[in-house]
Amino acid sequence: MNKYELAVVVSAKVEDEERTQVIDKCKALIERFGGTITEVDDWGKKRLAYEIQKMKEAFYYFIRFDAESTAPAEIESRVRIMDNVIRYLCVRLDEA
């Protein structure tokens, strides 16, 4: 099992309930592909470095999890097509 972090940037135009559903779907995807969620870090609404889809702000979430090496590709392929997710990135955390 490797340690990973999934960064998800959710549109600021959606309601709180929809935003919660997006993060719950991300968590469900991780668990579906054999991952174990260790931490969910909600950074809240932050200013974007540059304008994306005419938005200047978005909500940032970081989900840390343990999973096999095949899981991140599967998770990313499904997060890519999710509504209200404007950016995402899954990286492996080094053992440091």
Distance CA 88, CA 76 (A): 8
77 within a domain of the structure (yes/no): yes
Number of domains in the chain: 1
Identify whether 20 is part of a domain. yes
Say what the alpha-carbon torsion angle 20, 25, 31, 32 is, to the nearest 10 degrees. Answer: 170
pLDDT per residue as tens digits for the range 7-52: 999 999 999 999 999 999 999 999 999 999 999 999 999 999 999 9
**95 part of a folded domain:** no
pTM comes to 0.90
Parent domain of 15: 2-53+69-86
Residue 59 has pLDDT above 60, yes or no: yes
In a domain, 64, yes or no: no
92 belongs to a structural domain: no
Is 60 inside any structural domain?
Answer: no
